[in-house]
Amino acid sequence: MLIKDENTLLAAGMFSLSLSILIGFFHVECFGFSISDFVEGMLLGISVAMNLTFMIRRRLEKKASVNNDSRLPTSSGVD
């Protein structure tokens, strides 16, 4: 995965969610297609993916620390 820091995942997810909500207030059409709805949907999808990835990685790291399992990478950035 390209983003190794958990806090970056959460921040990106929350930022894309807030942008999606803000874009939802505007309606832009071009040739009969709603561009704002497309962008809003893309940002909402990115937000869901980032936030779920954050929660899954956090849970796996907590399980690994409880079980002392060193197979899972940590978010320290050291490879």
At 54-68, the pLDDT tens digits run: 888 888 888 887 776
Q: Is residue 24 part of a domain?
A: yes
- Asked if the structure places residue 3 within a domain, the reply is no
Specify the pLDDT at position 65: 79
Q: What is the pTM of this model?
A: 0.67
Instruction: Determine, yes or no, domain membership for 35.
Output: yes
Residue 57 sits in which domain range?
A: 17-62
The number of domains in the chain is 1
Task: Evaluate whether residue 30 is within a structural domain.
Answer: yes
Tokens standing for residue 65: 């620390």
